[in-house]
Amino acid sequence: MSALLEQIAHCVEFGKINQQSPYPPDMKGQPGADELAKEALEAGIRPEEVLSGGLVVGMQKVGVKFRENKVFVPQVLMSAKSMAAAMAHLKPFFASGAIQRKGTVIIGTVAGDLHDIGKNLVSMMIEGGGWEVVDLGVDVSTEKFIESIEQYPGCILGLSALLTTTMVNMEETVREIKAKHPDTRVMIGGAPLTEDFKNSIGADYYSPDPQGAVEYLEAV
């Protein structure tokens, strides 16, 4: 049973989507995350185990490798694609309530900034970690963030910015959110950001990489 979960984790880590997919070359012809997740469920492995023992483990491994510059964005995206293929088999269990999400994370790139690659990576990693993700997209106004917090009580917020000039907008957004919803946890990320900046704007957490966001969510 655990061997099957290990195989799923391996497929997710290396971006092996399904049997048809010829990538990675050394896994050509082998079943991918898609078939293995189906097989695991048919073998009676509980869906939450497929999630936590397979998908989460695989995404965690690729997240650490990304942090260590051992893989790059496209490889993480391949992993996310494998994860999505396996996740499709788990969707009915989420819908029925058989698997509970760990919580809801609202994520978006702040106003004036349209860079979304980092935000998308974080979004995929968090979803792979078992969280419900509400992705508001790019150039998101403070009002939109606040509206979403009210729509999803108890959610955690993730803000992204790539430009030094839109860090100002992030500061304004965090200030207004904290004024209206002081208990809402706000994590921030983006290439120009730092721990000092996080402290100066009153956000709760800064991560230089997607895996850090997942680890923070696990800890709160």
C-alpha 100/C-alpha 89 separation (Å) is 15
Chosen residue from 23, 93, 94, 152 binding other proteins by CB under 8 A: 23
Q: Which two tokens stand for residue 99?
A: 């698997």
Minimum CB distance to other proteins, residue 97 (Å):
25
Nearer Cβ to other proteins, position 35 or 135?
A: 135
DSSP 146: H
Nearer Cβ to other proteins, position 22 or 154?
A: 22
Chosen residue from 11, 78, 99, 136 binding other proteins by CB under 8 A: 78
Calculate the dihedral angle through the C-alpha atoms of 120, 172, 132, 56, rounding to the nearest 10 degrees: 60
Instruction: Work out whether 164 is an interface residue with other proteins (CB under 8 A).
Output: yes
Instruction: Work out whether 173 is an interface residue with other proteins (CB under 8 A).
Output: no
What's the one-letter identity of residue 20? Q
C-alpha 47/C-alpha 41 separation (Å) is 6
C-alpha 8/C-alpha 180 separation (Å) is 43
| Binding positions for other proteins, 24-63, rule CB under 8 A | 24-25
Instruction: Work out whether 137 is an interface residue with other proteins (CB under 8 A).
Output: no
Asked if residue 67 lies in contact with residue 209, where contact means CB atoms within 8 angstroms, the answer is yes
Residues lying near other proteins in the complex (CB under 8 A) are found at: 22-25, 69-75, 77-78, 80-81, 84, 111-114, 117, 120, 124, 139, 141, 162-168, 191-194, 197
